[in-house]
A = this chain, B = another copy of it.
Amino acid sequence: METREVLQKLKNGELSLEEAEQYFRRQPFEELGYAKLDTHRKVRSGFAEVIFCSGKTDEHLLSIFGKLYEEEGEVFGTRASKQQYEMIRQKYPETQYDEVSRIIKIEKTEKKRAGKIAVCTAGTADIPVAEEAAQTAEYFGTYVERIYDIGVCGIHRLLSQIETIQSANCIVAVAGMEGALASVMAGLVDKPVIGVPTSVGYGASMNGLSALLTMINSCANGIAVVNIDNGYGAGYMATQINRLGVKTNPL
């Protein structure tokens, strides 16, 4: 409902003064005291609110989990510990937990997936971050191709998969250490590459800062970068891009 429409209805008497006032003062979130749940979010962005579980108290986590589940019929959390999972499934036994990606969720069963993105890793140690990306994208209705362990120190492994990669609407390149994977991939495809530096490495990797710098300085075109280990952010943006490609919002 647009501003003009509201005013017209007020003028016409279709809306009371209070109802019209409410419109301009509406509060598109649910106040929990310690938090403001963004229940208006799905309308605004096409994505329901997601829970970043790490650091939340059990009480807060359970309450937010329940509220969102209630409202959407499904719920999705990242960076959950196994202890948090044990706590939640006491109350919601249908909860699922994946130890690799540390994703916790209750998901509707009838969901379809559309389009295609490719989630790639340089090494096996990057897989947890890649799975966070892949499962996020899947939760939001994206079909995901996983291609793992194709780092640049054995470039033939990447080249052997290039046709699959080229067929995706968006590529997520997950790499730690020197993080060179994203540059090489961007030179081989015509779709956007989202680089996800990981904290895999030691010494001068500085917990992923080196990989982040590598990706940001890429000489290739068509790369943008998210935070270190931010699989969720990459999966989210890849979904946005994929939706443009499939021209249909599967949720």
Identify the A interface with B (CB < 8 A): 3-4, 7-8, 10-11, 17, 20-21, 24-25, 27-29, 33-36, 38, 40-41, 44-47, 50, 55-56, 60, 122-125, 127, 148-157, 159-160, 169, 177-180, 183-184, 186-192, 194-195, 197, 199-230, 232-234, 236-237, 240-241, 244-245, 247
Contacts and interface: CB of A to CB of B under 8 A. Distances in A.
State the copy count for this chain: 8
Given A21-B7, A124-B60, A127-B34, A180 B184 contact: yes
B241 A178 contact: no
A220 B24 contact: no
A233 B41 CA distance: 30
Given A45-B189, A45-B221, A221-B47, A34 B148 contact: yes
Given A11-B17, A122-B219, A247-B247, A190 B154 contact: no
A233 B225 CA distance: 12
Contacts of A221: 45, 47, 50, 153, 232-233, 236-237
Contacts of A217: 177-179, 201, 203-205, 210-211, 227
A35 B149 contact: yes
Contact of A204 (B41, B44, B216): B216
Contacts of A208: 203-204
Nearest to A169: B244
A202 to B, nearest CB: 6
B56 A124 contact: yes
A11 to B, nearest CB: 6
A156 B40 contact: yes
B36 A157 contact: yes
List of 5 A-B pairs having minimum Cβ-Cβ separation, nearest first? A203-B228, A224-B224, A180-B180, A153-B220, A153-B187
Nearest to A229: B203
